[in-house]
């Protein structure tokens, strides 16, 4: 299992451009749909946690899946698997090509890759939204956060998207605490 975790996450790391967010749909496809190592709910929960903890999302996801399958050694194996391809590629580029991005073909290739990465990230977001439990407060927070981020980008405002995430998280936490308090008293809100 340890070698299998390494091999699968090595393949994910080797063939996915664009970082952790672009890897989410591929990790979900392999670890949830094919291997059934984790559930869709696990994937959504760990993605949310991975986004809010230090380090790249893909590494946090790999560590979680590895740990869930084989404990500490599985976590180490999956994490090494996902980071090794990037390390090797960057190391080789730095050794042989001083002006890598100045090569016209490579610069154009990265422009095309950027579009594909955007589509992969959009696909991950749509999958997560469709699998999300449809609660009115969650939908309102999602729509308001999305609208705020779009307005900030459209009008080039200097308001951090991290601040929006913190505000949305604080509101969600407050709603969760009120909901639990009302449930404890015998009431319920959706």
pLDDT for res 19:
67
Please give the full DSSP string across 33-81, using - where no structure is assigned: IIS-SS-HHHHHHHHHHHHHSSS-HHHHHHHHHHHHHHHHHHHHHHHHH
Q: Which pLDDT value is given to residue 189?
A: 52
Helices H / strands E in the chain, number of each: 7, 0
Higher pLDDT among residues 127 and 151, named by residue: 151
- Average pLDDT, rounded, for the chain: 83
Tell me which residue of 81, 59, 60, 57 sits closest to 1, measured CA to CA: 81
pLDDT tens-digit series, residues 84-132:
998 898 888 777 766 776 778 877 887 887 787 778 778 777 877 777 7
Tallying the residues shown for the chain, one arrives at 190
Most confident of 73-77, 106-110, 130-134, 175-179: 73-77
């Amino acid at each position: 299992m340890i070698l299998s975790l390494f091999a699968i996450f090595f393949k994910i790391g080797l063939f996915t451009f664009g970082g952790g967010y672009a890897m989410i749909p591929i990790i979900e496809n392999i670890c949830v749909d094919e291997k059934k190592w984790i559930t869709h709910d696990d994937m959504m929960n760990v993605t949310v946690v991975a986004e809010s903890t230090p380090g790249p999302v893909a590494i946090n996801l790999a560590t979680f899946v590895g740990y869930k399958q084989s404990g500490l050694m599985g976590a180490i194996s999956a994490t090494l698997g996902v980071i090794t391809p990037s390390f090797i590629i960057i190391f080789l580029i730095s050794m042989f090509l001083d002006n890598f991005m100045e090569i016209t073909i490579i610069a154009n290739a990265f422009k095309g890759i950027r579009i594909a990465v955007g589509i992969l990230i959009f696909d991950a977001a749509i999958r997560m939204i469709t699998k999300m439990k449809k609660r009115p407060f969650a939908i309102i927070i999602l729509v308001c956060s999305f609208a705020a981020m779009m307005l900030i980008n459209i009008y080039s405002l200097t308001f951090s998207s991290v601040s929006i995430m913190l505000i949305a998280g604080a509101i969600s936490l407050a709603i969760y605490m009120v909901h639990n308090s009302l449930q404890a008293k015998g009431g319920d809100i959706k």
